[in-house]
Amino acid sequence: MKVVCWTVAVVIGTTLCAASAQARGGNASWYGSGHRTASGERFNPNGMTAAHRSLPFGTRVRVTNRSNGRSIVVRINDRGPFVRGRVIDLARGSARAIGMAGTSTVSMAVLN
């Protein structure tokens, strides 16, 4: 993963860093329970959202199921997955949209 840093002159020399995953992939899972996300918003199990360990909240990511080629754009609004070997947790609705059952191998591209 590549880390991009820049200095914001308006905020008196504060340096901001953002993780930039160009075309990363790995195992994905889905989750369908929870009341609040780590970003503070109400969890919508049918939403097009996902959990990622380090991407900033609000980041849009294109997730492609490698087994069938279907893809979807999700918004990061939660933290996870907390299982070793997984790179992203999709909300149930977004997992269904790409034909995922259980876990799947996916590729990810950060859009913004």
- What is the value of pTM for the model shown? 0.77
Helix (H, G, I), strand (E, B) or coil at 96: helix
* Phi, psi of 48, rounded to the nearest 5 degrees: -95, 65
User: Where in the chain are the domains?
Assistant: 23-110
What does the pLDDT look like over 24-80, one tens digit per residue?
889 999 998 878 999 999 999 999 999 999 999 999 999 999 999 999 999 999 999
Question: How is domain 23-110 classified at the architecture level of CATH?
Answer: Beta Barrel (2.40)
